[in-house]
Amino acid sequence: MASPPTSLVFKVRRYEPELISPAKPVPRELKLLSDIDDQEGLRFHIPVIQFYRYNPSMKGKDPAKIVKEALAKALVFYYPLAGRLREGPARKLMVDCNGEGILFVEGDADVSIEEFGEALHPPFPCLEELIFDVPGSSAVLNSPLILVQVTRLRCGGFILALRLNHTMADAQGLVQFMSAVGEMARGATVPSLQPVWGRHVLFARDPPHVTRTHREYDEVPDSKGTIIPLDDMAHRSFFFGSAEISAIRRFVPPHLRNCSTFEILTACLWRLRTIALRPDPEEEMRIICIINSRGKSNSFVPKGYYGNAFAFPVAVATAKELKENPLGFAVEKVREVKAGVDGEYMKSVADLMVVKGRPHFTVVRSYLVSDVTRAGFGELDIGWGMPAYGGPAKGGVGAIPGVASFYIPLKNTKGEEGILVPLCLPAPAMERFVKQLDSMLKDQNTPSSSLIISAL
């Protein structure tokens, strides 16, 4: 696949930022977040980006004006998102539903969608121009909970980028809100799916009672300096289609051949990333899998709930075990933690948050993966049809950069459906990772050089 021109440089001519409040009066009240929402590991802003091509049927219509009006209408139903976070005793977060509004930025760029490359995917050039960090807007407390920027392009298309305070919603919750915005933009007066606040379903019990093992919150000293250094980082995106997944599956023993794409890809990345980083053989390496509890056994998350409803279960193995054992070893580890998340697990996490003071998940020697292939970002229609790209704006986001990767649905220039994985590693480790991946795929005539579809 041809690489996009990562040398693309442009500026966005921005209007003054403004606050968008709900279009009608909304209740003024304090609403508590759940004990899953307000953990330390979610106290950051996460960027999402949507590219929309020119649509002749919308000629003469201003996307910024339409999005702005649709946001105001949707906020009537999602009015807590127009409020501000406050922190109470024991670090408990709550929303002051004051209707103050979300932040909106409008701009123009003398660039076309085509200049971003044949297939749109992160990392995107000049991202800081497309999601402008309005001074004073990125604090977790007492700041707008969402920032939206609409950038009109020379080709007649536009980019809708946003930044969400992650304590308020997960990927599915954000898509639910943006779907309501899309419906309003297309003429609806009420969302087809009514939002449910309902954060009490993930409150800690009284008294709190931790019933599961949660190694994702282990206190691990970084005695050997193995948190990834942030200097000289390489950012690359890899495409895994059916041929690549089949090639990796060859390394899995017969009794695990029915494992899911998520399980095999996660195990593979965990193992190769570990080998590439060259840690001490006896050091424990961690793979954190974001697992959504919606639809799981004894889940009590109601339909329409837009809060965070996922856990960070972790698999742990030494670097030596991952390197010397076949891939099936890592697959079994991933399957085990994935299967353990149910309603009781979520309650146990909520209880642990209260008992331990809302800790951050362990980042030492950790790698986190989040599968957003089914979140629905690519289906958000705000009048211009489906986006040419919709989803996370970059990998490695969070309080600790470089730890996380997303699994993003992508159709490559050949029309093949697959998964895009943005990866962030120190440059020397990235080179070793590519060689390891190439070695796995060499017999299938699928060199990793063809998988690397962008690099910065």
User: What positions carry a catalytic annotation?
Assistant: 166, 381
Q: Cα–Cα distance between 189 and 205 in angstroms, integer?
A: 38
Beta bridge partners of residue 150, listed in sequence order: 106, 160
How far CA 1 is from CA of 26, 417, 430, in Å, comes to 49, 13, 19
DSSP H or E run through 31: strand 29-32
Say how many C-beta atoms besides its own lie within 10 A of residue 345's C-beta. Answer: 22
Q: What angle do CA 96, 98, 101 make, to 5 degrees?
A: 110
Q: How far apart are CA 117 and CA 119, in angstroms?
A: 6
Q: H-helix or E-strand containing 270?
A: helix 261-277
The DSSP 8-state label assigned to residue 305 in this structure reads: B
Coil/strand/helix, residue 209: coil
Q: Please, are residues 174 and 372 in contact by the beta-carbon 8 Å criterion?
A: no
Residue 339: name the closest of 403, 296, 294 by CA: 296
Q: Are 305 and 351 in contact (CB under 8 A)?
A: no
**Residue closest to 41 by CA, chosen among 398, 356, 392:** 398
Given phi > 0 = left and psi -120 to 50 = alpha, else beta, which region is 316?
A: beta
Closest CA to 14 of 117, 104, 106, 86: 106
Distance of alpha carbon 443 from alpha carbon 64, whole angstroms = 50
- For residue 38, give both structure tokens: 């307000």
Q: Which amino acid is at 396?
A: G
- Alpha-carbon Rg for the chain, nearest whole angstrom, is 22
Find residue 423's DSSP bridge partners: 236
